[in-house]
Structure 1
Amino acid sequence: MLKSILDTIAKPFVWLGGVFARLGAILRVVLGIVLAVLLVLYGIFFWNTQVWNDFDPDYAEAYATATSTAGDVPEPSGGIVSDDADKNATAADKTPDKTCRRSMIVRAAADLTDFNVNQNGWISSMLLYKMGLFGIPWQSTPFFDNKAAFQQGAHQAVGRTAVELVDTLGRVRGTSEPDKDLQKARSDLQYNEFYWYWSFSPFGPKTPSPAVYRSAIKSFNKYNERLQSCDALFDARADNLLEFLDRIARDIGGTSATLRERSENYNSGWFDTRADDRFWFAYGQLYAYYGILTAARADFEDVIRERRLEAIWDELESQLRASLNISPFIISNGAEAGWIMPSHLATLGFYILRVRSNLVEIRTILDR
């Protein structure tokens, strides 16, 4: 019995060996080179999909150290000047030795993009990811797609943040011109995430997605440098924070609906090959928003203190951090009442709803 099974497994390899032996010397060399290149490419692909460099669930702590609102100008004595006249002053009104505080939200957006494309390889645009498993998309298999889904979720959160930075946070009451660096970053982050060096739709050469996203990092950093020099604007008003949180609540609300739909309509447990995509996309989104919302607390420090939001914001950050503790080795989409195969989608969805509830409560307080 065992011999029969081994013979069956070995048969394709024996056949390929026979074909290779019948080829001419030149064809053998060509085929050998092709196979060697594929082996190297698959090795690189495997490494990039399985190794998560600089992944740290506590990374957001780096954004909680600010002692003043973004854009504020420290006085020579160390006090904070936060009146509207100083915030809205032009570059010509600023003295060369004055410095303003950088935006932690912008720093978090730049760091998350750097994590996706510099500290790690951007999986979605890799050639072997696009080719799939013998033509089958990796999303339809249980292999090599978790990190790609995570990156896509984090990327969506950063892209959503970039839109709000351009439309509201990086300008005064929506009446001033949009900041050119923030506009550039937003445009770059909207670039197709699947582009390799060549595309068939539309046909022709392309700039790879990670190269464009690296340009967004430069634009974010350039804006923060200008903000530090008091040559840019950050409008840290309560209504801007309200609108920002409302957009985030809608974004994760859509993700929650996606998880619920998959959880309710598919109960294949460990054999649901699409459950891992949904899970890791949502996980990446929460990972990014944990840093962004921690950074928002620093950037809107005055508003949060005046509206006495410290306690509920602590709870918001606590729920976001707790959600990152859910990282099973194999994602299961079993029935919610099942006792053998758990429902990881329902578990993560629960935390998303808790986070969204906190966001709605903060929004309600700000709207009073």
Structure 2
Amino acid sequence: MLDRITAFFQGIGQAVGRGIGLLIAWIVWPFMAAHGWYRQRHWMVKGPILAFLVLMIGLYGYFFWQTQVWTNFNPNFVDSYRWSERNVPAGQELPATAPASANATAPATGAKQCQSSAIVDAAADLTDMNVNQNAWISSMLLYRLGFFGIDWDHTPFLDNKASFQRGVNQAVRRTSTELVDSLGRVRGTSGINNNLQDARGNLQFDEFSWYFGLSPFGPKTPTPSYYRAAISKLRAFNTDLTSCNATFDSRVDNLIQFIDRIANDLGGTSAILRERSENYNAGWFDTRADDRFWFAYGQLYGYYAVLAAAGADFSQVIRERNIGSLWTDTLSQFKSALRIQPAIISNGREDGWIMPSHLAVMGFYTLRVRSNLVELRSVLDR
């Protein structure tokens, strides 16, 4: 009896071994055939083929490096700004003895000086991290080509950074719109600031544009160039603001509207997370779960910086309405959400016990943040 059991398992092992051997042979055969064909060719044929292979290996090596190395990724990076030490709201004249903002270009000695906008600094620095400190993944040639024709977003690898960057950019886009429409002007009595208008236009540009496109056919300006131009325009606005040649309207109704827009944006993301979590339960094998997770993470990452900056720009409103503790608690909710960094994103059943549901967890934290923002808006609107 024992011999038969042993023979049964040995048979299974041999069958598995043969299957693996056949699989390896099937994978290796095209390369062996190509090698045999290549070895018999003339050097005038071998040379271009070898050069092409070296080029592709180099491109894919660079692509792999850029997708896996996240330069200056730090959920606590807002602490380095020391915005809590600011006592003057954005756009207000600084006392004569007060030093200039560390992120502003100081005007001539003795000239009137105003407080720069921390929100503008945050938007510019977030975009700088996306396109200068890191490569913008979504418009790279190999990302556009996909994995053997399959969109990288439909694969379980090499697309997390791209989704994170697009999430950060979503937060910056929304912020630039609010800067143009309300924060960077006195509503009804001043025109739109040209620097902010140009920055918004550049940040709205297609996230996937490379140097050449098919629709329309011909050469194009790549996405990172537009975003770099937006950075310059944002910093130019802050330079003018520091010299008291621009406007930042830090009224309570502007803060209410800004918070409301962010809460609505996060509400949309929460709905996307919920839809994916409820309708797709493939666990570790859901190839779109990582895209949804890291987009939401990037959006929270961006809004955390923007709202921390808003606490400095609207410091007077926060003091007058006595919402300092509520504001701090809201930022703490962002920090809690940003601590979730699983190595592999799983979209299992919410009541499952083997594969976790990271989308449900991220959706929960997103709703917690949104709930705090709604409460902030309610208190400010009283």
Give the equivalent residue in structure 2 for 1:333: 347
Alpha-carbon separation, structure 1, partners of 2:139 and 2:98: 48
Give the equivalent residue in structure 1 for 2:26: 8
Work out whether 1:24 is the aligned partner of 2:42.
yes
Checking the alignment, whether the CA contact within 8 Å between 1:157 and 1:288 is kept in structure 2 is yes
Amino acid at match of 1:253: G
- Within 5 Å, give how 1:94-109 maps onto structure 2: 97-109=111-123
Give the equivalent residue in structure 2 for 1:213: 227
Checking the alignment, whether the CA contact within 8 Å between 1:68 and 1:101 is kept in structure 2 is yes
Q: How many Å apart are 1:4 and its aligned residue?
A: 4.3
Checking the alignment, whether the CA contact within 8 Å between 1:142 and 1:273 is kept in structure 2 is yes
Give the equivalent residue in structure 1 for 2:140: 126
Alpha-carbon separation, structure 1, partners of 2:376 and 2:134: 34
Consecutive unaligned residues of structure 1, counting only runs of 5 or more, are: 80-93
Checking the alignment, whether the CA contact within 8 Å between 1:263 and 1:343 is kept in structure 2 is yes
Taking only aligned residues, the RMSD between alpha carbons, in angstroms, comes to 1.6
Work out whether 1:70 is the aligned partner of 2:70.
no
Shift of the 174–44 alpha-carbon distance from structure 1 to 2, 3 Å rule, reads farther
Alpha-carbon separation, structure 1, partners of 2:85 and 2:235: 18
Alpha-carbon separation, structure 2, partners of 1:70 and 1:255: 30
Give the equivalent residue in structure 2 for 1:42: 60
Query: SS at 2:85's partner residue?
Result: coil
Aligned length: 354
- Which TM-score applies when normalising by structure 1? 0.93
Alpha-carbon separation, structure 1, partners of 2:111 and 2:198: 28
- Within 5 Å, give how 1:1-368 maps onto structure 2: 1=18, 3-61=21-79, 62=81, 63-76=83-96, 97-368=111-382
Give the equivalent residue in structure 2 for 1:87: none
Checking the alignment, whether the CA contact within 8 Å between 1:168 and 1:174 is kept in structure 2 is no
Amino acid at match of 1:282: A
- Larger of the two Rg values belongs to structure: 2
Query: SS at 2:292's partner residue?
Result: helix
Amino acid at match of 1:178: I
- Which TM-score applies when normalising by structure 2? 0.90
Q: How many Å apart are 1:7 and its aligned residue?
A: 3.0
Shift of the 359–3 alpha-carbon distance from structure 1 to 2, 3 Å rule, reads closer
Q: How many Å apart are 1:78 and its aligned residue?
A: 5.1
Deviations 1:284-333 (A, max 9, x none): 00000000000000000000111111111111000001111101000000
Deviations 1:208-254 (A, max 9, x none): 10011000000010000000000000000000000000000010100
Shift of the 45–337 alpha-carbon distance from structure 1 to 2, 3 Å rule, reads same
Q: How many Å apart are 1:366 and its aligned residue?
A: 1.3
Alpha-carbon separation, structure 1, partners of 2:326 and 2:312: 15
Q: How many Å apart are 1:96 and its aligned residue?
A: 5.9
Alpha-carbon separation, structure 1, partners of 2:23 and 2:135: 39
Shift of the 142–77 alpha-carbon distance from structure 1 to 2, 3 Å rule, reads closer
Alpha-carbon separation, structure 2, partners of 1:113 and 1:233: 22
Q: How many Å apart are 1:147 and its aligned residue?
A: 0.2
Q: How many Å apart are 1:66 and its aligned residue?
A: 1.9
Q: How many Å apart are 1:95 and its aligned residue?
A: 10
Shift of the 26–174 alpha-carbon distance from structure 1 to 2, 3 Å rule, reads farther
Alpha-carbon separation, structure 1, partners of 2:46 and 2:70: 37
Q: How many Å apart are 1:22 and its aligned residue?
A: 3.2
Q: How many Å apart are 1:75 and its aligned residue?
A: 2.7
Checking the alignment, whether the CA contact within 8 Å between 1:188 and 1:215 is kept in structure 2 is yes
Give the equivalent residue in structure 1 for 2:11: none
Give the equivalent residue in structure 2 for 1:86: none
Alpha-carbon separation, structure 2, partners of 1:126 and 1:301: 41
Q: How many Å apart are 1:173 and its aligned residue?
A: 2.0
Amino acid at match of 2:223: S
Deviations 1:66-113 (A, max 9, x none): 22100111233559xxxxxxxxxxxxxx99611001000000000000
Most deviating of 175-184 and 293-302 = 175-184
Amino acid at match of 1:117: V
Identity of aligned residues (%): 56
Alpha-carbon separation, structure 2, partners of 1:45 and 1:6: 26
Consecutive unaligned residues of structure 2, counting only runs of 5 or more, are: 1-17, 100-107
Alpha-carbon separation, structure 1, partners of 2:109 and 2:184: 21
Alpha-carbon separation, structure 2, partners of 1:185 and 1:77: 32
Shift of the 243–95 alpha-carbon distance from structure 1 to 2, 3 Å rule, reads farther
Amino acid at match of 1:177: G
Query: SS at 2:142's partner residue?
Result: helix
Amino acid at match of 1:56: N
Give the equivalent residue in structure 1 for 2:103: none
Shift of the 134–3 alpha-carbon distance from structure 1 to 2, 3 Å rule, reads closer
